[in-house]
Structure 1
Amino acid sequence: MVTWQYHHYDKGMNKRMGHGKSGRMYTPVLAVGMILALLLSASCSGNSSPSAAGDAGTSAPGGKPESKPPDNKQPDGKPQEPLEIQMTARLFEEVPNMDNAYWKEFMKRTNTKLNIEWIPDGDYTTKLNLILASGSIPEVLVINNLKHPPVVNAVKNGAFWDLTPFLGDFSKYPNLKNFSAPEAWVTSRILGKNYVIPKNRPQLSGGPKIRKDWLDKLGIPMPQTLDEYRSALKKIVDADIDGNGKKDTIGLVSKASLFTGSAGGFGDAFGMGKPTFNQEGGLIYETLTPQYAELVAWLRDLYADGILAKEFSVMKPTQAVELFEAGKAASLVNESFRWDYIFMGNIKKVQPEAIVDTVPPLQGPGGYAVRYSTGVDGAFLISKKVPEEKVKRILDFLELTNSKEYYDFTVNGIEGVHFNKVNGEIVLTDQHKKEVGSTSPWQPIALYYDKYGKLTTPAAPKEYNDAKIKQVEAQGYFQKGIISPFSVIDSPTWLATWPKFQQEWTSMSVKAIVGQISLDDYKAYVKKVNDDPNIKKAYQEFAKDYKETFGK
């Protein structure tokens, strides 16, 4: 059982479900690096993960789908016009052609016309800030971080509908109730109310990817600890592993911002997510704890060893992936296990012997490198400019598509076009890659919750997916992962205060990692931040919410 910092997940969440506090906010708190606009846009949630987010897969939990065809008739019996929705969406691949066979069928089945502005994930936060600042908000706005201050401020200012009265007891929305992530409707609240429709994602992402063929070539066993991981990467970068005579292989690149501490789960290996209190009894934010300083020291060692990419602080997610797929990097921090197979196939085009695997939960001095999320990765907000009757139709659309039926459709596409059944197994066609892709179909919908969604991929044979699930289960990923309390608790003072320090803190973290300042200088800076009166006030608020939420 995954724990909430030594409390069972069900125990803590059931307490909150049964004894919720009116007007409280139970939404994720995420640190976002802001040293540059690029870095700001690269550090998405977190919890994410990353990442990235947007992953799903082929294996889904049991449960009878409750989807039903949309009611396409008006009260007078005449056909109802398609629901036209103006929406933003995060883009993790090529911009999809909304006129292709898949999207035409999707809109036909849902009786919709989707007008989507696709925004690259690496640029999403920057674009989101511009949208909120301008007031030119689409009918449905996707957010990638529920605690992002501009988002919370826009909610406070009445820019979006409070959906709590619409949802009621969820009797009209059984799919959204039953097929969302555990406690998603609690952990996604803003200002204590359901302003958003949460986007569901598997709670378990994955550890760093590694070139197992290179480990085998050098006779290095699969790393089990942070020290072994560092040692293995050092041996790879010191060897002419790709045979080009230059010894120019990069040890580690990251698709997610390493400053969140959750990327790769590295911070949790130092105990970053474990509750840490100051002398006044305030709960210190996780990236300002002594444990996080240990993470900075470890990254500093990786940088000094020539393992960590020199441009790590400003590297875009796409650049990190490109380096790994080109066979230029030994390890990549990415958001899910399912990409092992996809990355391996792409690398094989340039290095046919490539084998990509995810490292086991790496043990560190304070825990394991595993970050377990709430299962909510971003959300939909509906603009207050949308008429009430249209809000109801949008909710009906999200209810309809939050089912196993639509989940399977978004994964596989149309039978005979995007997949065929061979001996009872689904085999994807070349048309699938062109028209369905890997992640785009999941962006306009809340997505049926799948525990194993980030472990499997429709691109891989069933045997590979089954083996991946067994491997991850055997490695103890589900047991060793923890959920940081900062994924749930909040502090109004923190939201107002932290943005004033965020950019400087990120800059100081970079300087400490690259050796421009000493670790003592970095720790002295962190102490100065922690001694700020407003930060101390925020820590008291965190502690109060932690005690009320978890009973400790």
Structure 2
Amino acid sequence: MKGAKRLAVLSIAVVFTATSCGTQAGDNKGNQASPPLIRIVANSLGMSFPEGMDAGHNPYLAYIEQNTGVQVNVTLPPLNGYDEKLNVIMTSGDPPDLLNTSSPSWFINFVNQKALTPLNGYIEKYGANLKAKIPQAAWDNVTVDGNIYAIPSLSEVKGTEIMYARKDWLDKLGLKPPRTIEEYTAVMKAFAEQDPDGNGKKDTYGLSILERLGRTSPFLGAFGVQMNAWYERDGKLVYAGIMPEMKEALRYLNSLYEQDVLDPEFPLNKIDVLGDKIASGRVGLYSAAWSDTRTHIAANRKQDANAEWIPLDFPVGPGGHHGVYSTSTVRSYNVVPLKSANAAAVVRFLDFIAGPGQMSLKLGFENEVWKRVNGKLSISFDEHIKHGYRGIYGALADTVDPEMTRDRLDGLGQQYRLYDNLQRIDGNLMQNRFNGPPTPAMGKHQVKLSKLQEETFTRIIAGMSPITEFDAFVKKWKDAGGDEITGEVNEWWRETAKQAKP
């Protein structure tokens, strides 16, 4: 795999600078009738539409429009460069009525610019379901100086990553499921070198991860850190990306790369690429998303009847640490530009999605996608997949209903262990101690700091920069706004502590 490694290393710079443009837009609906028309910009989530439908013409959007009295024009920018496209749209002079972003720094940047509409009064008048279903912690995340500048969509799950491995490969090589980081290393090395698929070729990886260091959470957790988190040290919050523990985690991942254990193409691995490697049998151990058992892993089992996948304990590092990152309460932010005159209609639109419309947008239409059989949810998989695009709209104002979550996951097939996967993750979460609204300095500096971190960490793992580059990164991070962010985060930390005292 040396050739692949050289190709991946040469391509890293391309990955960092590549961008794309263009939009996928719904039709321009006329506003000839009395219902208000709102223009929204949403995340496509990578979904496609059935033949004859698009973002502006489909039964789920029609369902929302009929029940709210609001007409909706939808634009779905490309996923690559999504927030950059939102920047262009916001500064166009004629912004839409609603934009959805998952980036806290994007959100706070436009709060800083005083470009967003305060929504307090509109929520009070038109947002009864939003008020009832969104917890105060989420509202706190979108409130600045007493003004609510976004309607939050909630994270349905508390964490996403879980270790999975092929038991048939373990059995063939006489290996037990790993627990410690040393045992993990031995298993991954064997998977890379000992032909676990028996085809006589060295074409399997010990471990594969995603671009931008995706799917590394359990390995970082073994060293006591997670990406983009803040931890308490000596009474203050410290950014995990500059902690010595992160340096040790990068050193470990680099050692896997140097031993040809880590997939050398990782800087180029988008999710579909990694999924293909799993489905085709080139990967036998990786940090899966909790839902992968019914996607990539299921695809592999379909191709190879002998493939048997099992969940693993999270790797335990030299200091006894283990765990995975916890998701933030807020999944995404729905903002209304100050220039919009349709804030009331936007809130009505989102209130329906969070309230009466949520079941149909989450599960699909009853008797078409699902039905009740002996009290249990029975889902038509073909229709479930065909109607998957409904999530584009439902995700705009997602709320959490644990009973519906379990019902839905069991209905998708208990053999996929979806609910069990979430329970296993929930028991191993590493909590980010900063859960306040993004700070002003984050709006100014977070994008460039995230890019600096991503590039530096990738180069270190791929052997393009020595591990000592981490120390230079720490200084750059601090000087380029990190110290300013740290000051604001700790100011929030002190105020939170004061309020918690009786």
Please tell me the TM-score bracket, short chain as reference.
Answer: 0.7 to 0.9
Matches within 5 A, 1:147-158: 147-148=105-106, 151-158=107-114
Counterpart amino acid of 1:548? E
Distance 1:300 1:221, change over 3 A: same
How far did residue 507 of structure 1 move?
A: 3.0
Is residue 221 from structure 1 mapped to residue 176 from structure 2 by the alignment? yes
Match of 1:108 among 66, 87, 95: 66
Q: Which residue of 2 aligns with 1:10?
A: none
Q: Which residue of 1 aligns with 2:344?
A: 392
Give the 3-state SS of the residue equivalent to 1:386 in structure 2.
Answer: coil
Indicate if the aligned counterparts of 1:250 and 1:309 stay in contact, CA closer than 8 A.
yes
Q: Which residue of 2 aligns with 1:469?
A: 419
Q: Which residue of 2 aligns with 1:325?
A: 279
Question: Which segment drifts farther, 359-368 or 178-187?
Answer: 359-368
Matches within 5 A, 1:185-224: 185-190=139-144, 193-213=147-167, 214-224=169-179
- Kindly indicate whether structure 1 or structure 2 has the higher relative contact order, using CA contacts under 8 Å at least 6 residues apart: 1
Is residue 311 from structure 1 mapped to residue 265 from structure 2 by the alignment? yes
Indicate if the aligned counterparts of 1:100 and 1:435 stay in contact, CA closer than 8 A.
no
Matches within 5 A, 1:320-359: 320-334=274-288, 336-359=289-312
CA distance in 1, matches of 2:374, 2:482: 61
Is residue 297 from structure 1 mapped to residue 235 from structure 2 by the alignment? no
Indicate if the aligned counterparts of 1:210 and 1:358 stay in contact, CA closer than 8 A.
yes
Is residue 246 from structure 1 mapped to residue 204 from structure 2 by the alignment? no
Q: Which has the higher helix share?
A: 2
Counterpart amino acid of 1:352? A
Indicate if the aligned counterparts of 1:181 and 1:201 stay in contact, CA closer than 8 A.
no
How far did residue 184 of structure 1 move?
A: 0.8
Q: How many residues matched?
A: 466
Indicate if the aligned counterparts of 2:377 and 2:407 stay in contact, CA closer than 8 A.
no
CA deviation vs aligned residue, 1:357-395 (integer Å, no higher than 9, x gap): 5433333336322212232111111122321xx311221
Is residue 445 from structure 1 mapped to residue 401 from structure 2 by the alignment? no
TM-score (norm 2): 0.79
Counterpart amino acid of 2:465? I
Matches within 5 A, 1:155-174: 155-168=111-124, 173-174=127-128
Q: Which residue of 2 aligns with 1:46?
A: none
Counterpart amino acid of 2:284? A
Is residue 143 from structure 1 mapped to residue 101 from structure 2 by the alignment? yes
Distance 1:502 1:237, change over 3 A: same
CA RMSD of aligned residues (A): 3.6
Q: Which residue of 2 aligns with 1:264?
A: 217
5+ residue gaps in structure 1? 1-34, 43-78
CA deviation vs aligned residue, 1:263-311 (integer Å, no higher than 9, x gap): 5344343222463559xx8743221111211221121122123232223
Give the 3-state SS of the residue equivalent to 1:205 in structure 2.
Answer: coil
CA deviation vs aligned residue, 1:20-77 (integer Å, no higher than 9, x gap): xxxxxxxxxxxxxxx86855899xxxxxxxxxxxxxxxxxxxxxxxxxxxxxxxxxxx
Question: Which segment drifts farther, 193-202 or 153-162?
Answer: 153-162
Q: Which residue of 2 aligns with 1:28?
A: none
Is residue 88 from structure 1 mapped to residue 20 from structure 2 by the alignment? no
Counterpart amino acid of 1:145? S
How far did residue 506 of structure 1 move?
A: 3.3
Q: Which residue of 2 aligns with 1:549?
A: 496
Q: Percent identity?
A: 21
How far did residue 142 of structure 1 move?
A: 0.8
Q: Which residue of 2 aligns with 1:26?
A: none
Match of 1:529 among 476, 484, 487: 476
Distance 1:524 1:425, change over 3 A: closer
